[in-house]
């Protein structure tokens, strides 16, 4: 796509895990700790492909069953480890800080929209020194009532922040991220470096191989 054919956005909404940060090492380590604490055996391998859905859904997949008591026990054990130690293992993808800096210099407002809980989201952003970078930081459980899924979350963010969808972009690495963008008519960019880059090809989605390509999509300054 020709950069000149795309209008500069007023805002960019970013997914977090698999888009801006590689949180897999900490998440998987905390799942291992939770399995040890509860004595459960995983039904599927511990791999980055688990990451993305809300925590309870991920735990049900990991255990291979949707037993409320087992899921609740695993969720509690996971949170006890991740919110104290696991989140500190978060890594930043190469090129992401430069991308965020470039967007900020262009006067574009940056927002986080994540399925991650708001508590560890804020811990990670503070740990990385990133909190001041973002005009808005949103998670499913940051809203009351909680947003049921990413498309609903994005809709609320657009409303609360008074963001014009036609002048906004979204960047994510999953099919749910793409659906959220398309539901609200945001231009979508797929983070090809993410957890499997499962956003799926569509005519309205542009795949990125490196964060610098998002800056390249901006039109040249007038």
Q: Report the distance separating Cα 199 and Cα 153, nearest Å.
A: 17
Please confirm, yes or no, whether 81 is among the known catalytic residues.
Answer: no
Residue 129 token pair: 């020194």
Give the active site residue among 15, 17, 22, 177. Answer: 15
Q: Report the distance separating Cα 12 and Cα 154, nearest Å.
A: 11
Contact 189, 214 (CB under 8 A): yes
CA torsion, ordered 147, 149, 155, 161, to nearest 10 deg = 60
- DSSP H helical segments within 117-149, as ranges? 118-128
DSSP structure string for 92-110: EPTTHHHHHHHHHHTT-EE
Q: Report the distance separating Cα 115 and Cα 140, nearest Å.
A: 6
Helix (H) or strand (E) holding 194: none
- DSSP H helical segments within 83-211, as ranges? 96-105, 118-128, 150-160, 175-183
Query: Which residues are tagged catalytic?
Result: 15
């Amino acid at each position: 796509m020709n950069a000149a054919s795309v209008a500069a956005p007023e805002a960019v909404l970013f997914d977090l895990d698999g888009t801006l940060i590689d949180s897999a090492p900490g998440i998987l380590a905390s799942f291992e700790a939770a399995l040890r604490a509860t004595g459960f055996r995983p039904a599927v391998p511990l791999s980055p492909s688990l990451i993305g859905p809300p925590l309870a859904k991920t735990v049900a997949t990991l255990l291979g069953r949707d037993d409320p008591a087992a899921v609740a026990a695993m969720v509690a054990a996971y949170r006890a480890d991740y919110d104290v130690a696991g989140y500190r293992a978060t890594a930043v993808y190469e090129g992401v800080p430069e991308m965020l800096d470039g967007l900020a210099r262009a006067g574009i407002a940056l927002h986080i929209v994540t399925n991650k809980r708001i508590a560890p989201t804020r811990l990670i952003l503070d740990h990385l020194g990133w909190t001041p970078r973002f005009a808005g930081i949103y998670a499913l459980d940051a809203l009351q009532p909680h947003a049921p899924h990413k498309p609903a979350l994005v809709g609320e963010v657009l409303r609360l922040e008074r963001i014009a969808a036609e002048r906004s972009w979204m960047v994510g690495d999953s099919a749910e991220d793409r659906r959220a963008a398309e539901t609200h008519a945001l231009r979508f960019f797929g983070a090809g470096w993410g957890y499997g880059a499962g956003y799926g090809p569509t005519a309205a989605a542009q795949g990125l191989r490196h964060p610098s390509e998002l800056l390249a999509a901006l039109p040249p300054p007038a």
